[in-house]
Amino acid sequence: MDINTIYEAVFDGNAKAAAAAVEAVLAAGETPETILNDACIPAMAEVGAEFEEGEKFVPEMLISARAMAAAMTILRPLLVQAGVKTVGKVVLGTVHGDLHDIGKNLVGMMLEGAGFEVIDLGTDVPPQKFVDAVKQHQPDIVGMSALLTTTTKSMPATLNALAEAGVRDQVKVIIGGAPITDDFAQKIGADGFAADAGSAARVANALMGLN
């Protein structure tokens, strides 16, 4: 059993096989990072590509997402363990109107793996809920994810709400998601943009003055 077995299990949406393959490949000495980056993420990317080409449909996407979640249940604590210490606190959420959370969850896992404490507000998070979480948890960073072009407008709305509540200057804001670009991030006044989960961790580190 090798890393391709995990790729196939996630791609085929076989949660049981994905979990078993992750256990076996870890036992054989592979790192959780390699399994995440070289099997799980590419498998979901291929599922997305086939969906766009009309070769896969929503139920198939969902079972692949569940298989990925099964793999992540095993990988998450190991990725977190790899973080030497808590380097900062992040409040993370998918913006209002948007239910996509696979990418956001990956970003959260990579941030945890990079040593951040992550407070995950979930999906469909209204601006006021971000504001309340900033007041309650005093994070260093707010991370917003959006996958729909229609929900990207919730990002400037949340930035405005943070400013109106007087807490915008207390946090750095990182945004990401398939329709998000660096240009958009700059235009709305976010502090950082990341194209994927790995770079989200690097951008967060940079905003904390690390590396």
Residues that bind ligand B1M (CB under 6 A): 41, 44, 48, 51-52, 58, 61-62, 65, 97-104, 106-107, 143-145, 147-150, 174-179, 194, 196-197, 200
Least Å distance between CB 70 and ligand B1M?
14
CA dihedral 113, 36, 93, 203 (to 10 degrees): 60
Determine the residue type at 59: P
Give whichever of 77 and 122 is closer to ligand B1M, judged by the CB atom.
122
Report, in Å, the least distance between residue 35 CB and ligand B1M: 15
Nearer to ligand B1M, 132 or 196 (CB): 196
| In the complex, least distance from residue 32 CB atom to ligand B1M, rounded to whole angstroms | 16
Task: Please give the DSSP secondary-structure letter assigned to residue 96.
Answer: T
Q: State which residue, 80 or 147, has the beta carbon closest to ligand B1M.
A: 147
Residue closer to ligand B1M by CB (options 1, 195) is 195
| Amino acid symbol at 190 | A
Q: How far is the CB of 36 from ligand B1M (least distance, A)?
A: 10
Q: How far is the CB of 95 from ligand B1M (least distance, A)?
A: 10
SS3 99: coil
> Residue 148 in contact with residue 118, Cβ under 8 Å?
no
Residues near 199 by beta carbon (within 8 Å), at least 6 away in sequence? none
Token pair listed for 180: 């998000």
- Residue closer to ligand B1M by CB (options 28, 210) is 210
**Alpha carbon distance 50, 14 (integer Å):** 17
SS3 139: coil
